Amino acid sequence: MTTEYAEHILGLEKFITQDGGIVRTVRLTLDTPLNIHWKLKVPAEMELDLRVEIQESPKKALKIGLHHQDDTTQHGLLRVDYHSRHRNPVDLTDAVPQSFHPYAGMFLDQWPGHIHYVVDGFPTLAWAIPLEADSFPVKDIQGMDHVRNAVLAFCKRLNIATQVTIENPQLRIL
């Protein structure tokens, strides 16, 4: 998986599928712990097998990710993590964006959230930056309204054309 190909896939219009067919609208109720899996299709490239996973750990860490599935492996394309630990690679190469350089070798657990990207020459999603340094709009999760906003923002970032509606998020503090 290259950075260029990952960005290409991220830019394509995608639809959630169910039973092999494209779904135009999806209604969700955010029950806890979150464990949501969607298959996505790209009308322009139907051979792509894409998956979205939204998972909450028992320690209330939340991960929202997109990966490409082929016959034997999964290739992460983008993932947002809240209240979880990550350490970036130490080594910098020409492929690492300049904005990532200050975070080389760092643990990112001092920020409430971080976002993982594909960087050429590194394992899938090995690099992440704090959400504070990224344009992703939901910087922290402090309740189910924030979770709802994060899921909807992720759908927008992935260019998901299926209309996703989230009903009655439960009130709770993570």
The confidence score (pLDDT) of residue 68 equals 85
What's the pLDDT band for 71 if we cut at 50, 70, 90? low
Q: Which residues contact 62 (CB under 8 A, 6 or more apart)?
A: 34, 54, 55, 56, 81, 82, 83, 84, 141, 147, 150, 174
| Residue 122 to residue 55: CA distance in whole angstroms | 24
The confidence score (pLDDT) of residue 170 equals 57
Mean pLDDT estimate for the chain: 90
Q: Label residue 99 exposed, middle or buried (CB < 10 Å: 0-12, 13-18, 19+).
A: exposed
What's the pLDDT band for 57 if we cut at 50, 70, 90? confident
User: What does the pLDDT look like over 6-19, one tens digit per residue?
Assistant: 999 999 999 999 99
Q: Which residues contact 119 (CB under 8 A, 6 or more apart)?
A: 3, 95, 96, 97, 100, 126, 127
What's the pLDDT band for 25 if we cut at 50, 70, 90? very high
pLDDT value at 32 more than 50: yes
User: What does the pLDDT look like over 98-143, one tens digit per residue?
Assistant: 999 999 999 998 999 999 999 999 999 999 999 999 999 999 998 8
Per the CB < 8 A criterion, the answer to whether 59 and 69 are in contact is no
Residue 107's DSSP bridge partners are 87
